[in-house]
Amino acid sequence: MRPALLDPLFAPAATLPGVGPKYAKLIDRLLDRPQGARVVDVLFHLPYATIDRRARPKIVEATRDAIATIEVRVVEHRPPPSPRSKAPYKVLVEDDTGDVELVFFLANFDWIKKRLPLGATRWVSGKLELWDGRLQMVHPDRVMDAEELAKMPAVEPVYGLTEGLFPSTISKAALAALARLPKLPEWIDETNLRRLQAIGFGEALGVLHRPEAPADIDPAGRAMVRLAYDELLANQLALLMIRARMRSVAGRANIAEGRIARRILDALPFALTGAQTQALADIRADLAEPKRMLRLLQGDVGSGKTIVALLAMADMVEAGRQAALMAPTEILARQHFERMRPLAEAAGLRIALTTGRDKAAERRQTSAALAAGEIDIVVGTHALFQESVVFRDLGLAVVDEQHRFGVHQRLALTGKGEAVDLLVMTATPIPRTLVLAYFGDMDVSALREKPPGRKPIDTRVLPLERLEEVVAGVGRAIAAGQRAYWICPLVEESEELDVAAAEARAEALRHYFGDAIGLVHGRMKGPDKDAAMDRFQRGETKVLVATTVVEVGVDVPEATIMVVEHAERFGLAQLHQLRGRVGRGSARSSCLLLYRAPLGEAARARLEILRESEDGFRIAEEDLRLRGEGEVLGVRQAGAPGFRVARLEVHGKLLSLARDQAAAALERSANLSGEANRALRLLLYLFERDEAARLMEAG
């Protein structure tokens, strides 16, 4: 139960003055709250910039092309020749040092006459510009008398908006939300309060919504640092509590001599890398412990995570139990299965595939075989969560592309057996700070080496004007028996427009290559998508035009060219993932990043890093520095922290302090009981770390 003290913050945002039903829907959309925004959501919708209206110069002293607030007399009205005219309405104002023309387009004549009566003294605030030798202010932001000036904030916060919402509506709602903030006890411990020189939680929100200087809303300023620390502390408490709960359910020691794994290794055409050997040793040590394994296996594109997972699953089967591997998409699940099956069968393992697309009879058959212990390893999608899927004795759950699943899904799969060990894998190398923030409840193994024989990929950055050369190059490669991916741009975050761009590009390429062109995008039905991928894998199509659905895990060794259109619109980690789709066979591979000139500074830096480096871990660190954590891990998935305030590229250094405080608190009381921990319990509810709050109540 959420403490009653916080109830005012969880009331609907529609109850705030000036919001009401009309603006409530717009605020729900702005704050991405389809179930209805609450007061707390408005409170955490922080300004991203300010307008500084502190400058009160005389006209002659005012800086050009900057905001100024000046005291003037209204001298003359210069309306357009007729109300229907497109010409602007101008008002001449002056002080004793000069004059300025106020310019209003598509103006309400009555409003202007009422606000700016001839001879009156007024304060006007807006940007002063020089136009055709005259000083002017187009559409002043404010026209005020002395009384209104006294109420105007000298530094005005600027909030993100959505169509139909006015700055004043959000500003008023934020101040009203601030007024509802109850007095909360301090949850930061004495040591960190001193170390951070932290101001109070309520004071920090006040500084941000009522800034007195532009520096007040700086992400590295005291107010933002305070709130970021609070959020990171809530996050670390939640992760540590979930870890403790998963660990507290006694594990089982799963001892294997590695006989089955040895058969798999003998069937491999290569030896494991040093990093793979070390990761396998870490996993084996975990499996042999009588407590549950919680390990993250992160590796760069093509570093060989799947084989490490298969060897771990083989050990679990040798110990007399079953294993499951869950992938986020049907394509990936099928690919893992196809890659593992020959090795598993050579070692005498019984392996099966189950996806949401299985017919009812197939599903029943697989479930019955799992329940009877006739399947050793099952590979699947979310279908593995279904209640009908019952294992005889699930010992190891492997989750691929971890960031696409939330904590609750992780828990659901491990709930399919008694004391299930958990190994999660990601092909997106994750910076150290992100590992702590998103996977703080896990031990980590990293595969930083590429298997022997993988050739470097020739990465080139080209302007879109050279498109015809690129098409000709792709034609030569196809004639030589190679295959190519052609990735279409991200269009304004609209999947429909992405699809349209991909379809248009496929059509254009068909003029050159006819039926050799395949197409795959996110709007296609599952079976159609699989069929298109299948035709490309078999070589029936030679060029696969795609939106980013091919980003993760797809494996076609004959594909040697990756073309990415409008590469400047993609994040570094995403481009690195796309590049990793080629260079998987023995032929030389290339990646062509096409951009539209001129390039912005950040986009240029991103493309430059890709040209210089194939090290996914370095690229991930740079991506975090350039773009922030939400982007590095792809869309903010349900169950991922999705920080509201903390920006790990700025506040990452606070993580270890937050983790230490969280660990110390949980050492004193595993479920944060008692008066001493009341403030921390409030913090968890305030930042909606409800998974942990439920564990707290369950004791």
Cβ–Cβ < 8 Å for 51, 43: no
Tokens coding 532 = 């298109």
Better pLDDT: 285 or 162: 285
Least confident interval from 24-33, 73-82, 427-436, 445-454: 427-436
Element (H, E) at 1: none
Do the first three CATH levels of 259-447 and 457-613 match, i.e. the same topology?
yes
Q: How far apart are the C-alpha atoms of 648 and 428, rounded to whole Å?
A: 17
Angle value at C-alpha 571, between 587 and 34, nearest 5 degrees: 130
* pLDDT of res. 502: 86
- DSSP 8-state secondary structure symbol assigned to residue 596: P
Cβ–Cβ < 8 Å for 230, 187: yes
Tokens coding 151 = 């109420």
Better pLDDT: 421 or 429: 421
Q: What is the mean pLDDT of residues 32-50?
A: 93
Highest mean pLDDT, choosing among 61-70, 299-308, 522-531:
61-70
Better pLDDT: 412 or 154: 154
Give the pLDDT band of residue 560 (cuts 50, 70, 90): very high
pLDDT at 614 over 90: no
Angle value at C-alpha 399, between 434 and 626, nearest 5 degrees: 25
Express each pLDDT in 370-397 by its tens digit: 999 999 999 998 888 777 888 999 999 9
Q: How many residues does the chain have?
A: 699
Mean pLDDT of the chain: 87
Q: How far apart are the C-alpha atoms of 478 and 558, rounded to whole Å?
A: 10
Torsion of CA 186, 190, 195, 197, to 10 degrees: 40
Tokens coding 39 = 């007061």
Better pLDDT: 403 or 7: 7
Give the CATH architecture of domain 457-613: 3-Layer(aba) Sandwich (3.40)
Q: What is the mean pLDDT of residues 23-49?
A: 93
Better pLDDT: 85 or 553: 85
- What are residue 219's phi and psi, to 5 degrees? -55, -30
Q: How far apart are the C-alpha atoms of 229 and 235, rounded to whole Å?
A: 10
Tokens coding 1 = 């139960």
Q: How far apart are the C-alpha atoms of 564 and 573, rounded to whole Å?
A: 14
Q: How far apart are the C-alpha atoms of 656 and 636, rounded to whole Å?
A: 23
pLDDT at 683 over 60: yes
Highest mean pLDDT, choosing among 197-201, 430-434, 641-645:
197-201
Cβ–Cβ < 8 Å for 87, 71: no
Give the pLDDT band of residue 441 (cuts 50, 70, 90): low
- Give the CA diameter of the chain: 97
Give how far the C-alpha of residue 658 lies from the chain's centroid of Cα atoms, to the nearest Å: 21
Express each pLDDT in 308-351 by its tens digit: 999 999 999 999 999 999 988 787 888 899 989 999 999 999 99
pLDDT at 550 over 70: no
Domain covering 54-152, topology:
OB fold (Dihydrolipoamide Acetyltransferase, E2P) (2.40.50)
Least confident interval from 133-137, 156-160, 532-536: 532-536
Instruction: Report the first-to-last Cα separation within the chain, whole angstroms.
Output: 13
Do strands 134-138 and 121-131 pair parallel, antiparallel, or not at all (unpaired)?
antiparallel
Express each pLDDT in 566-599 by its tens digit: 998 887 878 888 898 888 877 899 999 999 888 8
Least confident interval from 36-45, 136-145, 492-501: 492-501
Alpha helices in 347-453 (DSSP H): 360-371, 407-414, 432-439
Alpha helices in 559-600 (DSSP H): 572-579
pLDDT at 433 over 80: no
* pLDDT of res. 443: 84
Which residues have C-beta within 8 Å of that of residue 508, sequence separation ≥ 6? none
Give the pLDDT band of residue 440 (cuts 50, 70, 90): low
Least confident interval from 242-251, 314-323, 348-357, 533-542: 242-251
* pLDDT of res. 280: 97
Q: How far apart are the C-alpha atoms of 610 and 616, rounded to whole Å?
A: 9
Give the pLDDT band of residue 292 (cuts 50, 70, 90): confident
Give the pLDDT band of residue 416 (cuts 50, 70, 90): confident
Least confident interval from 186-195, 515-524, 531-540, 630-639: 630-639
Cβ–Cβ < 8 Å for 594, 563: yes
Cβ–Cβ < 8 Å for 419, 251: yes
User: In the chain, what percentage of residues exceed pLDDT 70?
Assistant: 89
Q: How far apart are the C-alpha atoms of 233 and 245, rounded to whole Å?
A: 18
Give the pLDDT band of residue 256 (cuts 50, 70, 90): very high
The residue ranges of every structural domain in the chain are: 4-51+158-217, 54-152, 259-447, 457-613
Q: How far apart are the C-alpha atoms of 5 and 481, rounded to whole Å?
A: 69
Q: Quick check: helix, strand or coil at residue 484?
A: strand
Q: Is pTM beyond 0.75 here?
A: no
User: In the chain, what percentage of residues exceed pLDDT 90?
Assistant: 56
Q: Quick check: helix, strand or coil at residue 561?
A: strand
Give the pLDDT band of residue 627 (cuts 50, 70, 90): low
Q: How far apart are the C-alpha atoms of 171 and 156, rounded to whole Å?
A: 9
Domain covering 259-447, topology:
Rossmann fold (3.40.50)
